[in-house]
């Protein structure tokens, strides 16, 4: 499978690692849209949030237990936003489930 984020997880494409464990990997976004912009991805290839099922949802639950630790390590004590784009209308450009963590300033109250 030709997947950019699988290649990053495997170390075939370089990234700036923020966090890693047996189930997920977090790294800085290459084109940040906030002062802090990190991506968290499951190591298992799941195409998007639309493909989350009873069979694979435990990794998503795990990621959401890890996000507060990542946020703390990034200094996001004032809060942050978690975003997951889905499909063409959601402007998902990489078809591997990922959660954007955005923060480091007061974000816009508009989400779309």
Q: Could you list the active site residues?
A: 98
Instruction: Compare residues 54 and 110 and give the one whose CB is closer to ligand AMP.
Output: 110
Question: Minimum distance from CB of 91 to ligand AMP (Å)?
Answer: 6
Smallest distance, Å, CB 56 to ligand AMP?
A: 18
Which DSSP string do the residues of 14-79 spell out, in sequence order? Answer: ---EEEE-SSEEEEE-SS-SSSEEEEEEESS----GGG--TTTHHHHHHHHHHHHHHHHHTT-TT-
Q: Which residues bind ligand AMP (CB under 6 A)?
A: 4, 13, 15, 27, 29-31, 39, 85, 91-94
Q: How far is CA 35 from CA 38, 71, 74, in A?
A: 10, 13, 11
Helix/strand/coil for 4 = helix
- Smallest gap from Cβ 5 to ligand AMP, in A, equals 8
* Residue number, 77 or 108, with CB nearest to ligand AMP: 108
């Amino acid at each position: 499978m030709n997947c950019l984020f699988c290649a990053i997880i495997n170390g075939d494409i370089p990234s700036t690692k923020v966090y890693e464990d047996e189930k997920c990997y977090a790294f800085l976004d290459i084109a940040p849209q906030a002062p802090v912009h990190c991506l968290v991805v499951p190591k298992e290839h799941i195409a998007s949030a639309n493909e989350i099922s009873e069979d694979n949802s435990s990794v998503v639950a795990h990621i959401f237990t890890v996000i507060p630790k990542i946020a703390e390590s990034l200094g996001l004590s004032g809060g942050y936003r978690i975003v997951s784009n889905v499909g063409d209308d959601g402007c998902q450009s990489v078809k591997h489930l990922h959660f954007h963590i955005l923060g480091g300033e007061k974000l816009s109250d508009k989400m779309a």
